[in-house]
Amino acid sequence: MTQTNLARSAPQDETTWWRHAVIYQVYPRSFADNDGDGIGDLPGIASRLPYLAKLGVDAIWLSPFYRSPQHDGGYDVSDYRDVDPLFGTLADFDRMLAEAHRLGLRIIVDLVPNHTSTEHAWFREAVATLPGSAARQRYIFRDGKGKDGELPPNNWQSIFGGNAWSRAPGDSQWYLHLFDRSQPDLNWDHPEVRSDFEDVLRFWLDRGVDGFRVDVAHGLIKAEGLPDWAGQTSMVEGEEGAHSNNGPMWDQEGVHDVYRRWRQVLDEYDNDRMMVAEAWVHPPQRLARYVRADEMQQAFNFDYLLTHWDAQAFRDVVTRSLAVSAEVGAPTTWVMSNHDTVRHTSRYGLSVPGARPKGIDAAGEQPNEALGLRRARAAALLTLALPGSAYIYQGEELGLPEHTTLAAEHRQDPAFFRTSGEEIGRDGCRVPLPWQSAAPAFGFGPGTATWLPQPVSFARYAVDRQEGDAGSTLELYRAALRLRRQRDLGNGELVWRDAEPGVVAFANGGVHVVVNTNDHPVALPGGEVLVSSVPLDSGHMLPANSAVWLG
């Protein structure tokens, strides 16, 4: 870390980097492919770091790149201390990290503590031993119900569909998996599970990572006795499901002990290392408990992601989010898309704008691409002007739409298979990025291979098409991020301004933000136009579905 540009700030002070950081999510499979196998990799990411530095983000969150059989895009980890050969080597990671730090970019890695892969050495050992063995205690094995134990121990359903219990071939006992059957849940009451994960944290902290995104942070501890639950959660997809996480497997008090301990580990290190919780809990007061002073620093604000294209709804969610996080002294985050949701550019183009279907295929409602993009550009100016920390999902800065016509034969999301296609799944937001409009695979890699096919429309969105074009989405993001930094909007204070129906208006750091969610133009207040999501011809009107920052 000797070459790093990263300034050390006083821990927890008002300006600590994660309080206002713009954090860019890289989904490694789909970002940039260096070796030509059609799957993105760490050297590919390293080669594109200058692009991210130029974009103007502060940090990068990398989805998992660890050893994994890849049954759930790497969220099924078989070795937490190694890089999967698909993505490179530990040396590639170290090189990428050093280069990121040299460019002033922080790196956050994903931690997947709720479950391992069935290929993990612990699970292999568990199924190789008899019921009751010590090795089985690290997971949640139970005898079945019924005369011969042929029925699952309780009625819990997997988030990806089907039963949450499976038996290894020839095994008499069942093991719990809240996700795919290849992802057995760990037993977090086991001391060795706790100590090993602390060791995993140290492994990556020692290498120099700046933080962790904690997967399924609300799921580690299950209620005593694993009681039956009539509810059904669809944690990562579906609007209704996201708010029904009050079952005995979610948000149990005991998870907070784990994060308090992890916080102590992080605090032993310099450079303000951080954690961000992926916790689909409700109401927001429950989420705030994950970011109390001695726990994590951030939690994803999924309420914001779930907000429809509606001015009042935006005002409400922003007001509520700021108030609830202020109560615990934490910053708010703002997130519109990630690798688990239909891209917001496409969601804003649906007949219910902002609705969150469980994936989109050719048989489903096709979003209005132009309208969705127009709204997404306006939403970017809303999001990036808010105080707190903002997340950008790779390709969002290009205005990339969801792949909405991906054929079933290409799909890889376990949710698609476990629901027999009833849930379309998340592949459509994970399609490899277009870098060059005229190159094979749109410049994703050196060859023609891409692990998911790209739609032809991606040519229009390629980086090289947008660079230098003042009207492009990429240049809009660059301009907004530059101004956000100059005016220190992330550390600013939001003051609502009066506005007509359908309009969101506020001031922050001397910037007056106006977002028109209406389908008709509205009068524009006076002021110098700093950046706008559409060209402003008349100077007096803000067109439908657009936004402006005024100075």
> Any bridge partners for residue 62, and if so which?
26, 109
**Is position 266 an interface residue for ligand NOJ (rule: CB under 6 A)?**
no
**Of residues 24, 93, 122, 179, which one binds ligand NOJ by CB under 6 A?**
179
Question: Contact at 8 Å (CB) between 280 and 481?
Answer: no
Q: Map the footprint of ligand NOJ across residues 470-529, applying CB under 6 A.
A: none
Between 236 and 514, CB nearer to ligand NOJ = 236
**Least distance CB 275 / ligand NOJ (angstroms):** 15
List, as one string, the DSSP characters of 201-245. Answer: HHHHHHHT--EEEETTTT-SS--TT---------TTS-HHHHT--
Count of CB atoms within 10 A of residue 255's CB?
Answer: 26
Mask for 273-312, x = binds ligand NOJ (CB under 6 A): -----x----------------------------------
**Least distance CB 305 / ligand NOJ (angstroms):** 12
Q: Map the footprint of ligand NOJ across residues 351-390, applying CB under 6 A.
A: none
**Is position 397 an interface residue for ligand NOJ (rule: CB under 6 A)?**
no
If binding means CB under 6 A, how many residues of this protein chain bind ligand NOJ? 10
Between 236 and 379, CB nearer to ligand NOJ = 236
Q: Map the footprint of ligand NOJ across residues 233-262, applying CB under 6 A.
A: 236
Q: Map the footprint of ligand NOJ across residues 217-236, applying CB under 6 A.
A: 236
Question: Contact at 8 Å (CB) between 279 and 242?
Answer: no
Query: By beta-carbon distance, which residue lies closest to ligand NOJ?
Result: 75
396 is catalytic: no
Between 452 and 474, CB nearer to ligand NOJ = 452
> Any bridge partners for residue 504, and if so which?
515
Residue 265: closest CA among 204, 185, 343: 204
Question: Contact at 8 Å (CB) between 55 and 478?
Answer: yes
End-to-end CA gap in the chain: 39
| Residue that the structure tokens 């660890």 belong to | 66
**Is position 215 an interface residue for ligand NOJ (rule: CB under 6 A)?**
yes
**Is position 324 an interface residue for ligand NOJ (rule: CB under 6 A)?**
no
Stated as kind and residue range, the H or E segment containing 485 is helix 473-486
Stated as kind and residue range, the H or E segment containing 514 is strand 511-516
Between 30 and 517, CB nearer to ligand NOJ = 30
**Least distance CB 452 / ligand NOJ (angstroms):** 15
> Any bridge partners for residue 66, and if so which?
83
**Is position 72 an interface residue for ligand NOJ (rule: CB under 6 A)?**
yes
List, as one string, the DSSP characters of 1-50. Answer: -TT-------TT-TT-GGGT-EEEEE-GGGT--SSSSSS--HHHHHHTHH
* C-alpha gyration radius of the chain: 23
**Is position 216 an interface residue for ligand NOJ (rule: CB under 6 A)?**
yes
The contacts of residue 340 (CB under 8 Å, 6+ apart) are 236, 237, 426, 429
Q: Map the footprint of ligand NOJ across residues 10-39, applying CB under 6 A.
A: none
Count of CB atoms within 10 A of residue 518's CB?
Answer: 17
Rounded to whole angstroms, the Cα distance separating 472 from 470 reads 6
239 is catalytic: no
Q: Which structure tokens are listed for 440?
A: 């094979």
**Is position 164 an interface residue for ligand NOJ (rule: CB under 6 A)?**
no
**Least distance CB 334 / ligand NOJ (angstroms):** 18
Between 179 and 348, CB nearer to ligand NOJ = 179
Between 71 and 289, CB nearer to ligand NOJ = 71
Helix (H, G, I), strand (E, B) or coil at 436: coil
Q: Map the footprint of ligand NOJ across residues 73-102, applying CB under 6 A.
A: 75
**Least distance CB 60 / ligand NOJ (angstroms):** 16
Between 63 and 450, CB nearer to ligand NOJ = 63
Rounded to whole angstroms, the Cα distance separating 495 from 503 reads 15
Between 112 and 376, CB nearer to ligand NOJ = 112
Between 33 and 72, CB nearer to ligand NOJ = 72
- Annotated catalytic residue within 215, 340, 396, 413: 215
Give buried/exposed letters for 92-115 (b at 16+ CB in 10 A, else e): bbeebbbbbbeeebbbbbbbbbbb
**Is position 176 an interface residue for ligand NOJ (rule: CB under 6 A)?**
no
Give the helix ranges, DSSP H, for 254-343. Answer: 255-267, 284-288, 302-305, 311-327
- Annotated catalytic residue within 268, 270, 498, 528: 268
Question: Contact at 8 Å (CB) between 547 and 513?
Answer: yes
**Is position 340 an interface residue for ligand NOJ (rule: CB under 6 A)?**
yes
Between 21 and 112, CB nearer to ligand NOJ = 112
Rounded to whole angstroms, the Cα distance separating 491 from 494 reads 10
Q: Provide the residue type at 78 as one letter.
A: S
**Least distance CB 217 / ligand NOJ (angstroms):** 10
**Least distance CB 342 / ligand NOJ (angstroms):** 14
**Least distance CB 432 / ligand NOJ (angstroms):** 17
**Is position 112 an interface residue for ligand NOJ (rule: CB under 6 A)?**
yes
Burial of 485 (0-12, 13-18, 19+ CB in 10 A): middle
**Least distance CB 278 / ligand NOJ (angstroms):** 6
**Least distance CB 338 / ligand NOJ (angstroms):** 7
Q: Which structure tokens are listed for 402?
A: 């969801």
Which residues are known catalytic residues? 215, 268
> Residues interacting with ligand NOJ, by CB under 6 A?
72, 75, 112, 179, 215-216, 236, 278, 339-340
